[in-house]
Structure 1
Amino acid sequence: MIKRDLYLRRIISNMWNGEIKVITGIRRCGKSVLLFELFYKYLLQKNIADENIIKIALDQRRYYKFRDPIVLCDYIEEFVEKNKNQKFYLLIDEVQFTKKVIDKKNGDVEVSIYDMLNELKAYKNLDVYVTGSNSKMLSKDIATEFRGRATQIHVQPLSFAEFYSAVGGDKRDALDQYMLYGGMPRIVDIHDVTDKKNYLKNLYEELYVKDIIERNKLERPDILNAILDFTASQIGSLTNPTNIANALTSLRRENVNSTLVSKYLDHVMDAFLLSLAKRYDIKGKTYFNYPNKYYYTDIGLRNARLHYRQYDPGHIMENIIYNELIVRGYSVDVGQITERKNNEKISREIDFVVNNGDRRVYIQSAYQMNTEQKENSELRSLAITKDFFKKVVIRMDIPHNFYDDNGFFHCNLIDFLLGEVELW
């Protein structure tokens, strides 16, 4: 069992907060295990009686009747009303399997699981937790359907630290595996290389892509797949829907509309397959509308999408660093700063502008800086900020961490991912 202590602590800190706790995330990233095994075990360790923990897994046959939200609500209400002096925990897995029904007892109105959960939330002796497939329960659904009274706990695939806690061994060997196959939890238990690749390929094609198509009733799955191919090949590169549409128009020899690309990208991000990192003007202190960057939630899925043909360790490393920063709960943007040189404006990039409350750090991802030109290229953008925020260069080609003469902190990637260095 892989510990997911970060997410478990987030659940624990929100216990009995008067809101429904909704566990979201890309499918197969470990939401059900987190709730039904790790959190359940925690409750038992806190001497919560097993009969006071109501577990309903809607993907299992014996719980099919509770896919009717009225039947589910009536069952839970009977439980908590009979024992008002006791506290109960309701854990519902795969809530997307519920259906809308007509409430014949109350004016023939249509009700959904959201209506019933909002009703159950009113009970002071009931604390409610649900997981939902990203294809059916998205973050925008939570904001609207739960009327702003839900706490979302978003779960990512395994971080490298979580992955390494499971596989152990040589750290660099483990990182090489992680950079190739990513952190979907099932990968840890698959040892054959071909089986790993087939698992990720099937996840992508049979689960995620079909979910997006079916949920959004997409009429052009071919365009969706073309967008997924393009974004997979362009991680770490600035782009926008217009650029993607133009590229697809050229490749496919048909006019691909940028509005359609933008809409399809939104669907992909809603499904937590991609994340958008906005570009921030450091001097102007404003955001650009475009271009921005897209990163894959799991780098193994990205590699599987491209059939492992475009293995660019520099961009893969950048994607992994971005995901790690998001897991830690930071706000992450792509930095842009302009330098004047010989009466010419030169735009330079800082990979990540990372904010944590009122604290900020700039991060450059540099797989290696083995030439003077590469070093100048990576460090120049940090130097021209001329502010006092910490500057960090995360690298693969150094055996230990150090500060250079400019005060920039050079950090080994593995040390960063394992939390062995402080950013702040």
Structure 2
Amino acid sequence: MFIRSDQLDQLEKCDGVRYIKVITGVRRCGKTILLRQVKDSLRRCGVANNQIHFFNFSQLHRQQLADWQSLINLISKKLIENKVNYLFLDELEQLDHVPAFLQEIIKHQNISLYITATSRSFLARLAPLQSQLVIIPVLPLSFAEFCQHHRQPANEHTLYQYLNVGGFPFAQDVHDQLTRENYLDGVFNTTLVNGFAKHGTLCNPFLTKQLAIFVAGQLGLPINASRAVSGLKKIGVPASSKTLSTYLTLLADTYLFYPCHELDLTTNRVKPTNAKYYPVDPSLRNYLTNQKGVLSQANLEALLFIELVRRGYSVYANKRFTFIADRHQQRTYIQFSYSIRNQHEYDQAIGSLRSLPVNCQKQLIVLRVADILSQDPAVPMSLLTDWLIENQSV
């Protein structure tokens, strides 16, 4: 069981009864495992078992979920007076009346509350409690965690392995490709069925999967519903723009894909349409396209984007730069190049970065680079394999 040390550190910093800790991310990325690791940590610190309470809402019947007042009573009876109670609510979004339920729970002054969720829309439902929330995003294992788990060096060979195995925890010790594909098929299909059920939308699994396949094959290219309609029509799959727009939203809401919108630097406004979509994990792209993960510009750009998201950046696309990344009121302009073989290619790669004001944060990231470069000291350069394992805590 891989220890998610970064997330555990974040949870430890906000421990206490004051905050509601919300652990969110795509299905099977390790949220429940993280809760168990928190429980183990509490026990090691001397917290008694009767102070730790775990409820998995996905295992409750529909009737139980509808009667949330009875759930409140059940939980209240288990609480130990005059001691801090640690309450873990796994997959709470199964419940319809979440804000009212949580408001009743937090009336107890001695509860440290942890909950998990698998959709962005669930966070919107928690808006009435926004001032009390701490959001802890969890993604599949990063390249750095992959290297650590498999005790491999951070080099191109290991990066190729990561692009093919991916970061879902279960997949790390599965050596049979068919078993891994069946597992990803379960992750994808369960995510869609649950996602449609929560949205109250009629489910067309075939069309949704065809859309996901199309999106996975368009890495690095802007996509909107009209373009998706045109792309699917070419392979004989008719659909309306309205339907595909709904399904695109669902793919993003369930964290299967992350949208990257274009930022207009002239107005500093985000364009609402024509976003690029990146899969949450490289194995998901392989599963959908039925292709191996290769060391290509598009695959590595997707990996770079997800790593920026993992490090807490708000990431945007732009015609002049690979990415523009904002974090802690600091903006970084990033250019990614697969290979730089000579001085001319280097100068081309940093041309847009050089044109920025001196005080701007700039970063050139490359997979391969020649040794003969005369580098510009104003533009830091990193090898992708080194950058991916840098300690960049949120």
Q: TM-score, normalised by structure 2?
A: 0.87
Output one character per residue of 1:229-280: Cα deviation in whole Å (capped at 9) or x when no partner.
11101111123223223333444374x4323222211111111111111211
**Alignment match of 2:90 (pick from 88, 93, 106):** 93
Distance in structure 2 (CA, Å) of the matches to 1:267 and 1:30: 21
Amino acid at match of 2:323: F
Aligned to 2:54: 55
Amino acid at match of 2:42: L
How far apart are residue 406 of structure 1 and its match?
Answer: 6.0
User: Are residues 71 and 262 of structure 1, via their aligned partners in 2, closer, same or farther at CA, if it must alter by over 3 Å?
Assistant: same
Gaps in structure 1 of 5+ consecutive residues:
101-111, 337-348
**Alignment match of 2:101 (pick from 106, 116, 120):** 116
**Alignment match of 2:326 (pick from 348, 355, 359):** 355
Matches for 1:96-175 after TM superposition, within 5 Å: 96-98=93-95, 112-134=97-119, 138-143=122-127, 146=129, 149-172=132-155, 173-175=157-159
How far apart are residue 208 of structure 1 and its match?
Answer: 2.4
Question: Is the radius of gyration larger for structure 1 or structure 2?
Answer: 1
* Partners of 2:23 and 2:31 within 8 A in 1: yes
* Partners of 1:363 and 1:394 within 8 A in 2: yes
Aligned to 1:21: 21
Aligned to 1:7: 7
Matches for 1:174-323 after TM superposition, within 5 Å: 174-204=158-188, 206-216=189-199, 217-252=201-236, 254=238, 256-308=239-291, 311=294, 313-323=296-306
User: Are residues 97 and 259 of structure 1, via their aligned partners in 2, closer, same or farther at CA, if it must alter by over 3 Å?
Assistant: closer
* Partners of 1:156 and 1:297 within 8 A in 2: yes
RMSD: 3.1
Output one character per residue of 1:17-61: Cα deviation in whole Å (capped at 9) or x when no partner.
53432221100000001012x111221232222221122334568
Structure 2 SS opposite 1:124: coil
Distance in structure 1 (CA, Å) of the matches to 2:133 and 2:373: 44
More off after superposition, 363-372 vs 291-300: 363-372
User: Are residues 398 and 259 of structure 1, via their aligned partners in 2, closer, same or farther at CA, if it must alter by over 3 Å?
Assistant: same
* Partners of 1:402 and 1:409 within 8 A in 2: no
Aligned to 1:103: none
Output one character per residue of 1:312-358: Cα deviation in whole Å (capped at 9) or x when no partner.
6211111111111111112211133xxxxxxxxxxxx2011112223
User: Are residues 276 and 73 of structure 1, via their aligned partners in 2, closer, same or farther at CA, if it must alter by over 3 Å?
Assistant: same
Aligned to 1:34: 34
* Partners of 1:236 and 1:294 within 8 A in 2: yes
Structure 1 SS opposite 2:318: strand
Amino acid at match of 1:16: G
Aligned to 2:341: 370
- How many equivalent pairs are there? 390
- 2:348 is equivalent to residue 396 of structure 1: no
* Partners of 1:367 and 1:397 within 8 A in 2: yes
Output one character per residue of 1:104-129: Cα deviation in whole Å (capped at 9) or x when no partner.
xxxxxxxx454232201111111211
* Partners of 1:275 and 1:296 within 8 A in 2: yes
Structure 2 SS opposite 1:245: helix
Aligned to 2:69: 70
Distance in structure 2 (CA, Å) of the matches to 1:303 and 1:388: 40
More off after superposition, 23-32 vs 194-203: 194-203
User: Are residues 273 and 187 of structure 1, via their aligned partners in 2, closer, same or farther at CA, if it must alter by over 3 Å?
Assistant: same
* Partners of 1:361 and 1:391 within 8 A in 2: yes
User: Are residues 253 and 89 of structure 1, via their aligned partners in 2, closer, same or farther at CA, if it must alter by over 3 Å?
Assistant: closer
* Partners of 1:401 and 1:410 within 8 A in 2: no
Distance in structure 2 (CA, Å) of the matches to 1:169 and 1:369: 26
Distance in structure 2 (CA, Å) of the matches to 1:148 and 1:245: 41
**Alignment match of 1:385 (pick from 346, 352, 356):** 356
How far apart are residue 186 of structure 1 and its match?
Answer: 0.8
Structure 2 SS opposite 1:157: coil
